Structure 1
Amino acid sequence: MEENDVYTEDGTVDIHKNPANKKTTGSWKACRFILGNVCCERLAYYGMTTNLVNYLESRLNQGKATATNNVTIWSATCYITPLIGAFLADAYLGRYWTIATFVFIYVSGMTLLTLSASVPGLKPGNCNGDTCHPSSSQTAVFFVAFYMVALGTGGGGMEPCVSSFGADQYDENDVAEKLKRSSFFNWFYFSNYFGAFFATLIIFWIQISVGWAWGFGVPTVAMVIAVMFFFSGSCYYRLQRPGGSPLTRLFQVIVAAFRKMSVEVPEDKSLLFETADDESNITGSRKLEHTDNLKFLDKAAVESESDSIQDGEVNPWRLCSVTQVEEVKSIITLLPFWASGIVFATVYSQMNTMFVLQGNTMDQHMGKHFEIPSDSLSLVSLLFLTPVYDQFIIPFARMFTRQERGFTQLQRMGIGQVISIFAMITAGVLEVVRLDYVKTHNAYDEKKSPSVFTFIGQLEFFYDQAPDATRSLCSALSLTTIELGNYLSTVLVTVVMKMTKKKGKPGWIPDNLNRGHLDYYFYLLAALSFLNFLVYLLISKRYKYKKAIGRAH
Structure 2
Amino acid sequence: MASESGHDSPDPLLPRRRVPSSGGWKSALFIIWVEVAERFAYFGISSNLISYLTGPLGQTTAAAAAAVNAWSGAASMLPLLGAAVADSWLGRYRTIVASSVLYITGLGMLTLSSMFPSPQQCGNSADGQGVCAPSSVQKAFFYVSLYLVAIAQSGHKPCVQAFGADQFDATDPSESSSRASFFNWWYFGLCASGTVTVAIMSYVQDNVGWAIGFGVPSMVMLLALAIFLLGTRTYRFYGSGGGVNGGAGTFSLVGKAFVAWRKRSPESGLVEYGEHGDGELAEDAVLAEEVKGLARLFPIWATCLLYGVVFAQPSTLFTKQAATLDRRVGQSFQIPPAALQCFLGVSIVACIVLYDRVLVPMARGVTGVASGITILQRIGTGIALSLVTLAVAALVEMKRLRAARDSGLVDGSASNTAAVPMSLWWIVPQYVLLGAADVFTMVGMQEFFYDQVPGALKSLGLALYLSVLGVGSFISSFLITVIDGVTRRDGGTSWFADDLNRGHLDYFYLLLAALTALELLAFSYFSASYVYRRNASSSN
Name the TM-score class by shorter chain. Answer: 0.7 to 0.9
- Aligned residue in 2 for 1:91: 88
Matched, 1:375 2:338: yes
What displacement does 1:388 show? 1.8
Contact 1:94–1:239 at 8 Å: present in 2 too? no
Q: Which residue of 1 aligns with 2:361?
A: 399
Task: Return the match for 1:226 from 218, 224, 227.
Answer: 224
Alpha-carbon separation, structure 2, partners of 1:246 and 1:355: 37
Q: Which moved more, 1:212-221 or 1:345-354?
A: 212-221
**Structure 2 Cα separation of the partners of residues 253 and 151 of structure 1:** 28
2:66–2:480 CA contact under 8 A, matched in 1: no
- The 5-angstrom pairing of residues 507-522 of structure 1 reads 508-522=495-509
Shift of 1:365: 2.8
Match of 1:250 in 2: 254
Deviation by residue 1:26-77 (Cα, 9 ceiling, x = unmatched)? 5x76654444322211222233455667778998899999988876665554
TM-superposed deviation, 1:424: 0.8
Shift of 1:533: 1.6
The 10-residue stretch of structure 1 (528-537 or 457-466) with the greater mean CA deviation from structure 2: 457-466
Matched, 1:491 2:474: no
2:10 corresponds to which residue?
A: none
8 A contact 1:428–1:519 mirrored in 2: yes
Matched, 1:413 2:379: yes
Corresponding residue for 1:389? 351
Partner SS for 1:159:
helix
Hey, what's the Cα distance between the residues in 1 that align with 2:470 and 2:445? 15
d(CA) in 2 for partners of 1:516 and 1:522? 12
Aligned-residue identity in percent = 34
Q: Does residue 449 in structure 1 map to residue 421 in structure 2?
A: yes
* Contact 1:116 1:142 survives alignment (8 Å): yes
Residues 1:516 and 1:109: Cα distance change in structure 2 (over 3 Å)? closer
Superposition deviation, residue 518 in structure 1: 3.0
The two structures, once aligned, show a CA RMSD in angstroms of 4.6
Instruction: Quote the Cα distance in structure 2 between the aligned partners of 1:502 and 1:66.
Output: 16
What pairs up with 1:120-159 in 2 under 5 angstroms?
A: 129=122, 145-154=145-154, 156=155, 158-159=156-157
Letter aligned with residue 42 of structure 2: Y
User: CA offsets, 1:463-503, max 9 Å, x none?
Assistant: 34335664444323322322322222233334445665688
Alpha-carbon shift at residue 544 of structure 1 (Å): 0.8
Give, as a single letter, the amino acid of the residue that structure 1 aligns with 2:350.
V
Match of 1:426 among 388, 392, 395: 392
Q: Deviations over 1:505-544 (max 9, x none)?
A: 6464444443444333222212211221222223333141
The DSSP-based 3-state class of the residue aligned with 1:272 is coil
Q: How does 1:278-427 map to 2 (within 5 A)?
A: 303=276, 314-315=279-280, 319-320=282-283, 323-377=286-340, 379-402=341-364, 406-427=372-393
Change beyond 3 A, Cα 1:91–1:335: farther
* 1:106 and 2:93 are equivalent in the alignment: no
Of residues 481, 486, 494, the one that matches 2:468 is 481
Please name the residue that 1:37 is paired with. Answer: 34
AA paired with 2:419?
Answer: K
SS at match of 1:394: helix
- Match for residue 450 of structure 2? 463
Name the amino acid aligned to 2:152: G
Kept after mapping to 2: 8 A contact 1:356/1:375: yes
Gaps of 5+ in 1: 1-6, 8-14, 275-301
Q: What's the CA shift string for 1:107-144, capped at 9, x where partnerless?
A: 344345556777xxxx789x984776999998887666
Asked whether the equivalents of residues 90 and 246 of structure 1 are also in contact (C-alpha less than 8 Å), the reply is yes
Aligned length: 487
Q: Is the 8 A contact 1:459 1:475 kept in 2?
A: yes
Q: CA shift at 1:391, angstroms?
A: 2.9
Letter paired with 1:257: W
1:160 maps to 158
Matched residue type, 1:226? A
TM value normalised by structure 2: 0.72
Letter in 2 for 1:397: L
Letter aligned with residue 219 of structure 2: V
Verify the 8 A CA contact 2:191 2:349 in the aligned structure 1. Answer: no
